[in-house]
Amino acid sequence: MDIDFPWQYDARGQTAAAASDDHIGDMLELLLFTDPGERVNRPGFGSGIRQLVFAPNSPDFAPALEFAVAAAIQRELGDVLALEGVSVTSEEATIRVVVDYLILATGMPGTVELDGAPR
């Protein structure tokens, strides 16, 4: 059983479950919004996106962030999905990250788009 994110109760009052496809999107979101060192038993887990919130916006920012996100996804979720692409756009004070992937177990494509704080 895959637990839904954010954690919540279902109609029966039990922990809500997530469909496999939804769970993979949840795992991506958790990975991207976790800072390295934040998890005690997995100090390398995370992408470090939140550390870049106050970084200066420059032409080199988006490609560097794309590389960091792709590396974190391949390292932590490479056994679950095949990364198709990462796109980072920066418009004024908003950073939008779009991750396209294929679920290895089913071959189904998926997309996660993040443009703010986690749900």
Fold of the domain spanning 2-114: Nuclear Transport Factor 2; Chain: A, (3.10.450)
pLDDT value, residue 90: 77
Q: State the pLDDT at residue 86.
A: 94
Domain spans, the chain = 2-114
pLDDT confidence of residue 44 = 87
Using CA atoms, how far residue 70 sits from 18, 67, 98, 115, in Å, is 24, 5, 11, 16
Q: What is the pLDDT of residue 14?
A: 87
Gap between the Cα atoms of 103 and 94, Å rounded: 28
- Weakly modelled stretches of the chain, pLDDT under 50: 117-118
The contacts of residue 103 (CB under 8 Å, 6+ apart) are 20, 21, 24, 80, 81, 109, 110
What CA–CA distances, in Å, run from 37 to 28, 34, 47, 53, 107? 17, 9, 10, 17, 32
